[in-house]
Amino acid sequence: MEKIKFRLAATIFVCAVAIACAQSDPDFAGKGASLFGNSPTRAPDFVSLAKNLQPAVVNVSAMLTPKGKAAPGGPGGQRPGFGGEFFGMPSPDGPERSQGSGFIIEPDGVILTNAHVIEGAKKVIVRLVDKSEFEANVIGTDPPTDIALLKISAKEPLPTLAMGDSDHLQVGEWIMAVGNPFGLDSSVSSGIVSAKGRHLGEAYDRLIQTDASLNPGSSGGPLVNLNGRVVGISKAIVSQGGGNIGISFATPINLVKEILPQLRASGKVTRGWAGVAIQEITPGLADTLGIEKASGALVASVVQGGPAQRSGMKVGDVIIEFDGKKVVDAMDLPLWIARTPVDKSVAVKVQRERQQVELQLTLTMIPEGNPLQARGDEIG
């Protein structure tokens, strides 16, 4: 019993010393927090963040042509492979009108949103936070990344959101999403980054996964960090009934920044193309093919007469290096190919029958009616 009393007294003494140190040294709390990394010592200020963000977030309403009529879950309907859905939403005003979100990036009225929100639209209306409405011109769209650039003409300079650096985003980091779920303007939700580099089945998917509550109508809205910088554009959710279950996805803003100059200049994006469909290397495939690690990209098919076939690439080859970069994750390869200028010749290393072969691959533009894209394969 005496030992217990002594330990209790010792504990009280240590606590008293700690309190005294905190009072005498203003930096004591910060020093203590550093024991657990650089975590903030107080909760995020979502109130101030929301006040600063909401004025630059807009409602995007698309009057659809009959063939562009919104599908359940929003224009674009069910997403392949992962069970995700686009989440623009049909407007209650009628079946030929859909709604989503967007945000202003330039004070003269340039707006970013999702391409599927305005797909098939004969007229696009943007409503600001003060309820004023403008008919928008579509500057350009890029369906592969699901990005659209709009422009409205306002009499006064408009509030804007600054774009951040999504490459520096960390798993576990706080984020806030702003949008118009179910037509409820300027709704905010918060959460954390659940994962990065998610792939839903399209060639250029390297998406941010978050648990922030997003629902139909949020598509095209900004995903921002605690500094108020846009790090992503809300794109899709995993849902069995159309509502949020805590799994949603956003396009990284760095991918958007790459294509913005082309969208502004020509209204579309031109990418390099190799004419090859690939698949990931599993441990079983690696063992069969004689590869030490489950890395690289297996060539599943090549387009007849395409750049890959002209280079000598064959079905069954494993691409292990592209333009000096090691292929660790097969899903990186389509983006690398897309970023390569048209007509550039690059060195490609493949493993064929347990031997390394080096090829010279000259990229071209993606042709109209690309057969691999039509089948939804991972292409480059």
Q: Which is more confident, 324 or 376? A: 324
The total of structural domains in the chain comes to 2
Residue 329 annotated among the catalytic residues of the structure: no
Distance CA 134, CA 112 (A): 15
Q: How far is CA 115 from CA 120, 147, 148, 308, in A?
A: 10, 5, 5, 30
CB 348 within 8 A of CB 322: yes
Q: What is the pLDDT of residues 172-223, one digit of tens each?
A: 999 999 987 666 777 888 999 999 988 877 777 789 999 887 777 788 999 9
Query: pTM of the prediction?
Result: 0.76
Tokens matching residue 272: 């390099």
Residues 285 and 262 in one domain: no
What single DSSP character describes residue 53? H
Tokens matching residue 3: 């030992």
CA trace torsion 306, 310, 312, 315 (10° rounding): 20
Q: Give 236's contacts (C-beta < 8 A, 6+ positions apart).
A: 79, 84, 85, 86, 87, 200, 207, 219, 248, 249
Residue 12 covered by a domain: no
Residue 199 annotated among the catalytic residues of the structure: no
Residues 249 and 291 in one domain: no
Residues 250 and 352 in one domain: no
Average pLDDT over residues 155-166: 95
Whether residue 57 has pLDDT greater than 70 = yes
CB 114 within 8 A of CB 148: yes
Residues 287 and 171 in one domain: no
Residues 88 and 131 in one domain: yes
The one catalytic residue in 61, 98, 142, 146 is 146
Q: What are phi and psi of 55, to 5 degrees?
A: -60, -25
CB 375 within 8 A of CB 202: no
Residues 218 and 355 in one domain: no
Q: What is the pLDDT of residues 244-297, one digit of tens each?
A: 667 889 999 999 999 999 999 999 999 999 999 999 998 988 888 888 888 999
Q: What angle do CA 336, 257, 166 make, to 5 degrees?
A: 80
CATH of the domain at 162: 2.40.10.120
Tokens matching residue 353: 């029958």
The one catalytic residue in 101, 116, 194, 199 is 116
Expressed in percent and rounded to 5, the helix, strand and coil fractions of the chain are 25, 35, 40
Residues 258 and 280 in one domain: no
For the chain, what is the largest distance between any 2 Cα atoms, rounded to a whole number of angstroms?
Answer: 89
Residue 146 annotated among the catalytic residues of the structure: yes
Nearest to 191 by CA among 176, 209, 171: 176
Residues 91 and 216 in one domain: yes
CB 35 within 8 A of CB 28: no
Residue-range definition of the domain harbouring residue 300: 272-379
Average pLDDT over residues 224-228: 94
Predicted confidence band of residue 93 (pLDDT cuts 50, 70, 90)? very low
The one catalytic residue in 187, 189, 219, 239 is 219
Average pLDDT over residues 358-378: 70
Predicted confidence band of residue 307 (pLDDT cuts 50, 70, 90)? very high
CATH of the domain at 317: 2.30.42.10
Average pLDDT over residues 219-245: 83
Residues 345 and 295 in one domain: yes
Residue 316 covered by a domain: yes
Residues 95 and 222 in one domain: yes
Whether residue 47 has pLDDT greater than 70 = yes
Distance CA 377, CA 297 (A): 13
